Amino acid sequence: MTDVTPFGDRLAAAFAASGKLCVGIDPHASLLDGWGLPDSAEGVREFGLRTVDAVAGRAGIVKPQVAFFERHGAAGYAALERVLAEARDAGLLVIADVKRGDIGSSVEAYGQAWLTPGSSLEADAMTISAYQGLGSITGVLEAAEAVGKGAFVLAATSNPEAAAIQRAVLQQSSRAGSTVAEAVTAGVIGWNEGRADAAKRALGSVGVVLGATADLRSSGIDLDVDPPRPGLPVLAPGFGHQGAELRDLRAIFGSLAGGVIVSESRSLLGAGPDGLAEAIRRRVDEVGAASV
């Protein structure tokens, strides 16, 4: 394809226009009840559409958590397709939180489902797992690059039970001696640096997931070196409901702070359908102040 705008460029533009807040679309059963909606495909569709309406014109990024749609089967996926389409039509960047991972043609098929232009599940980026090796997702990253899409690779997530694996030290690898989280992060930085036009880009098109409540230094991630070039997009859950404070953003992420996307869901969605737009507006301002 020609004249494709890289995902990293579109993310940088969203940062400049609308800030770094990403609103999760997570229709938990308890939130559906609080919004007066049924726990059904119709309920999650309405929840998603109302959230998109509240985000549009206030923030620039949404992240549907696919699991809450998927649990309603085919009808839930139909609801998700509608929400994704409405979000794209509203000019929002959409990160599909799917956390897919596999090898060979299987993982490439996942990438085709979520990142192919014109797909009913089309998003701008997807979350992806590389715990079968970064090489296992190379085909997805190459295909995403060709059509201006992005990916966020799980590196150091905020759930505490993941720490034992993410801090495990590699024994047989080109990055032997590194933790799993460190190797994933360094590999993604290397991927972005290896693009032909890397020197011209403010942000790479492949990022990592680093939880704001994770102990990143204990995970082996060096936060004191100069920021990578292009900048590393960091999808950062953990603020808001999970307890991380925006005032600590730079202390948490160090040299990677410039690429941090503050991802929040329940802390905003709990405001309900009538209060969500105002909650988003306030949070965008707070994130902007913390990011300066």
Residue-wise pLDDT for 193-230, tens only, equals 999 889 899 999 999 999 999 999 999 999 999 999 99
- Per cent of the chain over pLDDT 90 is 87
Predicted confidence at residue 1, as pLDDT, reads 46
Residue-wise pLDDT for 31-69, tens only, equals 999 999 999 999 999 999 999 999 999 999 999 999 999
What is the total residue count of the chain? 292
Q: Kindly list the catalytic residues.
A: 99
Yes or no: say if 268 and 282 are a contact pair by the CB < 8 Å rule: no
Residue-wise pLDDT for 108-160, tens only, equals 999 999 999 999 999 999 999 998 889 999 999 999 999 999 999 999 998 88
In the chain the domains, ranked by start, together with CATH numbers, are 7-287 (3.20.20.70)
pTM of the complete model? 0.96
Q: Indicate whether 176 pLDDT > 90.
A: no
Angle at 136 between CA 73 and CA 188, to 5 degrees: 100
- Estimate to the nearest angstrom the gap between the alpha carbon of 49 and the chain centroid: 19
Yes or no: say if 184 and 129 are a contact pair by the CB < 8 Å rule: no
Predicted confidence at residue 173, as pLDDT, reads 79
Q: Indicate whether 242 pLDDT > 80.
A: no
Predicted confidence at residue 241, as pLDDT, reads 74
